[in-house]
């Protein structure tokens, strides 16, 4: 199990973390085409959409999105 910080924009406040047994290559193979498709169609997407896409493609793997608490 590894933790990854997912960065899809220039704004660090939009980054998010996942813990997963996936490799970096597996994550990139799903998220890069998903994001490019959404941007080409001028469609909005959320971080939750990205996690949902990973969970859809890798149904048998572990993907956890830890909750962040800001104080």
For 11-49, the pLDDT digits (tens) are 888 899 999 999 999 999 999 999 999 999 999 999 999
Structural domain count, the chain:
1
> Does some domain include residue 71?
no
> Does some domain include residue 19?
yes
> Does some domain include residue 41?
yes
SS (H, E, C) 2-61: EEEEECCCCCHHHCEEEEECCCHHHHHHHHHHHHHHHHHCCCCCCHHHHHHHHHHHCCCC
> Does some domain include residue 28?
yes
Contact yes or no for 5/13 (Cβ under 8 A): no
Judged against a pLDDT cut of 80, whether residue 5 lies above it is answered with yes
- pTM score, whole prediction: 0.86
What is the number of residues in the chain? 71
How far, in Å, CA of 65 to CA of 9, rounded? Answer: 18
> Does some domain include residue 15?
yes
Return the pLDDT at 66: 78
> Does some domain include residue 70?
no
Domain that holds residue 28: 2-64
> Does some domain include residue 29?
yes
């Amino acid at each position: 199990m590894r933790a990854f910080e997912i960065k899809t924009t220039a704004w660090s406040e939009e980054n998010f973390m996942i813990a997963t047994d996936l490799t970096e290559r597996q994550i990139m193979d799903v998220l890069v085409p998903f994001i490019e498709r959404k941007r080409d169609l001028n469609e909005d997407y959320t971080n939750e959409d990205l996690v949902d896409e990973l969970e859809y493609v890798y149904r048998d793997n572990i993907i956890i999105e830890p909750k962040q608490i800001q104080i």
